[in-house]
Each structure stands twice: as C-alpha cells, then as structure tokens.
C-alpha cells in the first residue's frame, strides 16, 4: 500500500502571502473564486500553477493523493481542475480552526486519525516542530511533515524531498 500524500491548498499550492507583492510570482495565474462560505465582498483571490499539478501527478505513482485542506470536497471543483488533477479523496474535518492548548495545529490530530497508522507525508504552511513532535509520539507509522512557505508555495526541492521520502 502506498503512503498517503496529504495536500493543503492555501500555502503549498496557493502561495497566498505572495498576493501582497507585485508582480505576482512567475508561473502562477490569479483566479477569482467563490467557494462555499465566501459569499460577501470580492471573490477570493487564489494563485495556482499547473507545475504543481504536474508534480503531484508524478508523485501519484508513489503516493495516494488526498486533499488535507479546509476546501474539503470543493478542492475538486475549484482547484484540482485548474492545475490538472483528477478528483481526489479529502479529509472531512470533524471541526475546523480550534485553538489547541498544547500549541499544535488544529489539523494535526485529524491528519493522524485519517492516516490510521499508514505512512504519510503532509504538506502545509502551518506545520511546526510541536506538530512533528506530536505526530512522532502518536503515529505508529513513518511520517514526513513538510512545512511550505506561504510566500513561495511548493518548489522543485519539495517535490524532490517527497519523491525521495516515498
């Protein structure tokens, strides 16, 4: 059985912090979106690159790709098709954005629950050393927690790291 590759959108695929710069990062296209919950005001600006889709499709030979994003199933409508990905399974978070007293990211426990002992790699811009320590203590399988800079998004070296780890 292949390890899971758990993919966040905002940060790794959508380097949202880069929206504060001009010009926008090379290779990205700005998309205006209205996913569920984004009803008021201007559309949500999302930066996406087809290079990410190509890289993830290449990794699909080594991993089972899974969305690990607050976009949940809407990732398959709004993001996947724009970067060339087929529909992917997703983590259906039981609750979102809860502050954890121990300082871990709210997704961390759900990611470990979803993996259910399977090896996994997780790419997200909110991962910290506290999350790595918690996963090491609570997940029996191998795990790679790869923090991605939300100013930059996934880069070639990240794809190389993921390929080597699998």
- 20: which DSSP letter? G
Say how many Å lie between the first and final Cα of the chain, rounded. Answer: 11
Helix axes 108-115, 129-138, angle to 10 degrees: 30
What is the pTM (predicted TM-score) of this model?
0.94
Which architecture, in CATH terms, is 4-13+49-165? 3-Layer(aba) Sandwich (3.40)
| Mean pLDDT for the chain overall | 93
Structure-token pair, residue 117:
């002992």
- The stretch 79-84 carries a mean pLDDT of 97
Handedness of CA 51, 57, 63, 64 (dihedral sign): positive
Q: What is the pLDDT of residues 88-120, one digit of tens each?
A: 999 998 866 666 677 788 899 999 999 999 999
């Amino acid at each position: 059985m292949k390890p899971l590759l758990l993919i966040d959108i905002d940060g790794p695929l959508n380097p949202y912090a880069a929206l504060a710069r001009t010009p926008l990062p090379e290779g990205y296209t700005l998309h205006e979106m209205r996913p569920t919950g984004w009803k008021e005001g201007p559309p949500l600006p999302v930066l996406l690159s087809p290079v990410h889709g190509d890289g993830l499709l290449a990794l699909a030979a080594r991993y089972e790709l899974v969305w690990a994003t607050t976009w949940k199933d809407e990732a398959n409508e709004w993001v996947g098709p724009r970067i060339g990905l087929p529909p992917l399974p997703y983590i259906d978070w039981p609750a979102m954005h809860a502050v954890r007293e121990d300082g871990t990211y709210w997704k961390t426990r759900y990611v470990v629950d979803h993996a259910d002992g399977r090896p996994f790699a997780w790419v997200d811009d909110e991962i910290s050393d506290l999350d790595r320590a918690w996963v090491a203590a609570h997940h029996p399988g191998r795990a790679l927690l790869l923090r991605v800079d939300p100013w930059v998004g996934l880069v070639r070296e990240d794809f190389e790291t993921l390929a080597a780890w699998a």
